[in-house]
Amino acid sequence: MENFTNKSIDIASLPQFEEVAFQPISKSYLIKSNLQNLVFFCVAMIGWVVLFYFNITQTQLMMLLIGIVLYFGFKFWNTSQLQKNYGFALREKDILYRRGYLVNKTTVVPFNRIQHASISRDVLDKMLKISTLKIFTAGGSGSDIVIPGLTPDLALRLKEALAEKLTANEF
């Protein structure tokens, strides 16, 4: 207790998380999202074509087509907007992750609350040469961070950096 101090803190002068500059994620992720959208779009179109052989009126078919086109139009537009909003930032003592266009969401995880980190790559990730970094806390799924579309090299470096901070930060 000898080196115990209890200075009053000027709250306004603390570092502000909302002022941090975010790094964007790889452009390859946009390709991945669009590929996924495209696959679903194709599936929907095939479903629509199959409906031709059923007892459905022309107007109903047209309505359905308009619905599908509108939905996927929104999907593709939203994907491009989402891509712009993905961002992450490392500070000295925490990691920030931002995503979402219609609802912009920023999650901040202090290093000393991270349980562990993992890197995962699915088939598309491997083709496009990107990785997903997952950071787990004890706060449940809402509290975990999953950053997609990082170059494998960057993901690995981030993971190592986090691992280093995790242990160095403890004491």
Query: Does 16 contact other proteins by CB under 8 A?
Result: yes
**Torsion angle in degrees (nearest 10) through CA of 39, 40, 44, 49:** 10
Query: Does 160 contact other proteins by CB under 8 A?
Result: yes
Residue 152 identity (one-letter amino acid): P
Return the residues of window 97-126 that contact other proteins according to CB under 8 A.
100-123, 126
Nearer to other proteins, 36 or 118 (CB): 118
CB 37 within 8 A of CB 73: no
User: Taking the complex as a whole, how short is the minimal distance between the CB of residue 119 and other proteins, in angstroms?
Assistant: 4
User: Taking the complex as a whole, how short is the minimal distance between the CB of residue 45 and other proteins, in angstroms?
Assistant: 26
Q: Which stretch binds other proteins (CB under 8 A): 10-18, 31-39, 47-55, 69-77?
A: 10-18
What is each CA distance from 43 to 23, 46, 98, 113, in whole angstroms? 34, 5, 31, 42
CB 129 within 8 A of CB 149: no
CB 148 within 8 A of CB 26: no
Binding site for other proteins (CB under 8 A): 8-9, 11-12, 14-18, 93-94, 100-123, 126, 136-143, 145, 159-160, 163-164, 166-167, 170-171
